[in-house]
Chains A and B, each alone.
Chain A
Amino acid sequence: MTGPKIIFFILAACIVVFSILSVTSRRILRAAIFLLFVLVAMAGLYYMMNFQFLAAVQLILYAGGIVVLIIFSILLTSQINSKLDPPKISHLIAGVTTAVGGIVLAAVTILQYTFRPTAESAIGTDMRTIGIQLLDTQITGYALPFEVISILLLAALVGSIFIARKHNT
């Protein structure tokens, strides 16, 4: 066992255990905190793969944004003291069957397939390269998805304001 392997297995164990806890916990605030642990461990995985920018984005956007948003909506809808209902037996059987069957099927398929990496040399993942490629209009650029995603965010903002406004006006 070498260093990176040990770190990977610690992170993977954290991710798997806390994601199962987050799904099965009956107190919803605890489930949100377990989800936070999963997201932080995933940021560690990105650091291992040398994507520092993505790890920072993961910490800022998911751990700092989405989990806080979920916790706010739990607190605002005052569900903090109520325990969730235990799942119906039929739902539980269906869910566990789907999950275990899906994991087995995907594992068999993945382990049979051999992935072939490209022979070309790796590009750097520093901020300068990322920034240039993100706003480039050449073949290696991603300016169009960047603009499309901003339209999507604007539409989501307008839609959520429309849904959440008071209906008596």
Chain B
Amino acid sequence: MNLQAEIPLDYMIMLSTIVFFVGLLGVIIRRNLISMLMGVELMLNAVNINFVAFNHYLFPHRLEGHFFRIDSDGHSSSRSRHCNSVNH
């Protein structure tokens, strides 16, 4: 399946832009730690879409976006663990 011909890279980046700023909206309008954590989670996942999309569309000969995304998994799980312990 040739995804580049079907779906341009711009679609993916626009999608992740919208999700990122919706997450930012959530961080701004909520004053609850768990709600803010969910907003940050949305922003982080938007960035992950960007990593994977750039890897797939522009630089398919390396797996850099792939491993950046796996590393950001580690960041996000350590951060949510921290937030939960702060909350208790």
- Chain A residues within CB distance 8 Å of chain B: 2, 4-5, 8, 12, 15-16, 19-20, 22-23, 28, 31-32, 35, 38-39, 42, 45-46, 48-51, 53-54, 57, 61-62, 65-66, 69-70, 72-74, 76-77, 79, 84-85, 87, 91-92, 94-96, 98-100, 102-103, 106-107, 110-111, 115-118, 120-123, 125, 129-130, 133-134, 140, 142, 145-146, 149-150, 152-153, 155-157, 159-161, 163-164
Contacts and interface: CB of A to CB of B under 8 A. Distances in A.
Interface residues of B, number: 68
Contact of A51 (B38, B41, B56): B56
Contacts of A74: 34
Interface string B3-20: 110110111111101111
The secondary structure that dominates the B interface is helix
Looking at B24, B31, B42, which has the most chain A CB atoms within 10 Å of its CB? Answer: B42
Contacts of B53: 49
> Which 9 A-B residue pairs are closest in the complex by CB-CB distance?
A156-B78, A122-B60, A160-B85, A95-B28, A23-B26, A120-B61, A164-B85, A87-B29, A149-B74
B34 A140 contact: no
Contact of B6 (A5, A116, A153): A5
Given A31-B38, A95-B29, A157 B81 contact: yes
A50 B56 contact: yes
Contacts of A159: 82, 85
Contacts of A149: 71, 74-75
Given A160-B81, A163-B82, A66 B61 contact: no
